[in-house]
Amino acid sequence: MGSYALHRTGAAIATLAAASVIIFFFIHLIPGDPIHVLLGDTATPDQVDALRAKLGLDQPIILQYFRWLANVARGDFGTSIFFQMPVLKVIGDGAETSILLATITMIWITIIGVPVGVIAAMRHGSWLDQGLSGVAMLFASIPTFWVGLYLILIFAAWLGWLPSSGYPSIFEQGGLANLRYLLLPSLALAAPNAALILRLTRASMLDVAREDYIRTARAKGIRPMRVILRHILRNALLAVVSAFGFTFAALISEAVVTETVFALPGIGQLVVQSILRRDYPVIQGIILVTVVLYLAVNLLVDLSYRLLDPRVELQ
């Protein structure tokens, strides 16, 4: 187990190094530069050149890369060209929103997707199964922004129960009560993902239920509920947990539409805006952090297989 973890960590670091090269050079290949965005419509060529020199963007690209890499190795991700603030502070601000949003969404997905998937599998072929599968298909097909806008309209504009948009930090006035700002966006984000987890749980459960050892367990007279929970669900969860890993990482970096609709200061929106502004240090920082996150989540998922199924050998 120890050597396996070491091996996987080494591979992750190599991936990270390769990613850093791709991130840096691809971002700088995009036409346009932040100076024009910063100085606006009427900047003269002299003003543009002067500011470019001041920000070090006139240096050879290779030199800029190694300077960035050396700083990152020391934990300095640079300063945001647009916000004039340390990149880690800008990313940290967005990360709080994204991590909390993803966590609450995962809770919705887990408490809706898995149990309903189990119920659908238990009643396989019945009207209940078909009804639940139909609803899941519906939610998987409806665009998130549409669900989001209707949630805002109903719960914020009409009923006035929940805030329409924005998210003040839980570390600000209001404390944990500020999590109410994330209820509607997490529901919107959970809808399609819970539907997919539901379908995945159902399908995995049905696959496992056809295995010989399940028939054996039933033949031995084990109580049906125990067979389902102990033998079918536990084995079916292997596939579901893999999906959870990817879903969580994706929720952090890809919740752009939901963040836009609910005006959430998350990582997804930050990366899109930073690309439009050509705020290179922020884009590089976010992508690097995201790569690390993906690698870490996948590593954890791999390691968790062993816990769920002792037969899985880690090599």
Partner 1 sequence: MIKQFLRCVIVVATLVSASSQSMAAGMLRYATIGEPPSLDVQMSTATIVATIGQHMFETLYAFDSKYVPQPLLVTGEKVEDGGKKLVLTLRQDVKFHNGQAMTADDVVASLKRWGEFGARGSLLMKNATSVTASGKNEVTIVLSEPNGAWKNLLAYPEGGPAIYPAAIVSAAGNKPLEPKDYIGTGPFKFGEWRPNRYVELTKFDGYVPLKTAGDGYAGARTASFDTIRFVPVPDVGTRVSGVQAGDYEYAEFISGDLYDSLKSNAAINVHRNGAPLFGLFFMNSQSGILKDNFALRRAISAALKEEQALSVSFGPKALWEADGAIYPKGNPWHTQDGVKNYNVGDAAKAKQMAKDAGYTGQPIRLLVSTNYQAHFDQATVFTKQLADAGINVQMMVVDWATLLKLRGQGDQWDIFVTHHGFVPDPLLLTFMNDSYAGWWKTPEKAKLMAAFTGTADPEARIKIWAELQALVYEQVPAIKVGNAYSYDIAAKKLKGMGESTVLWPHFWNANY
d(CA 5, CA 57): 40
Rg (CA), the chain: 24
Choice between 110 and 169, CB closer to partner 1: 169
* Beta-bridge partners for 210: none
| CA 230 to each of CA 181, 216, 305, 312, 313: distance values in angstroms, whole numbers, following the listed order | 38, 14, 16, 18, 21
CB atoms within 10 A of CB 313: 8
CB of 189 to partner 1, least distance (A): 15
CB of 228 to partner 1, least distance (A): 27
Q: Which residue is it, tokens 């991936």?
A: 15
Helix or strand run (H / E) with residue 82: none
d(CA 287, CA 293): 10
Contact code string over 59-88 relative to partner 1, x by CB under 8 A:
---------------------x-xxxx---
Contact code string over 142-181 relative to partner 1, x by CB under 8 A:
---x---x--xx--xx-xxxxxxxxxxx---xx--x--x-
Instruction: Check binding of 33 to partner 1 (CB under 8 A).
Output: yes
Binding partner 1 (rule: CB under 8 A), the pick from 5, 10, 25, 54 is: 54
* Beta-bridge partners for 79: 86
CB of 149 to partner 1, least distance (A): 5
Instruction: Check binding of 128 to partner 1 (CB under 8 A).
Output: no
Closest C-alpha among 244, 233, 234 to residue 121: 233
Using the contact rule CB under 8 A, the part of the chain among 102-110, 206-214, 275-283, 296-304 near partner 1 is 275-283
Instruction: Check binding of 224 to partner 1 (CB under 8 A).
Output: no
Cβ pair 38, 52 in contact under 8 A: no
| DSSP helix, strand, coil percent of the chain (3-state; round to 5) | 75, 0, 20
CB of 24 to partner 1, least distance (A): 18
CB of 209 to partner 1, least distance (A): 33
Contact code string over 184-223 relative to partner 1, x by CB under 8 A:
----------------------------------------
**Which amino acid appears at position 274 of this protein?**
S
Cβ pair 225, 141 in contact under 8 A: no
Choice between 71 and 273, CB closer to partner 1: 273
Q: List interacting residues with partner 1 (CB under 8 A).
A: 30-34, 36-45, 47-48, 50-51, 54, 80, 82-85, 89-90, 93-94, 145, 149, 152-153, 156-157, 159-169, 173-174, 177, 180, 260-263, 265-266, 269-270, 273, 276-278
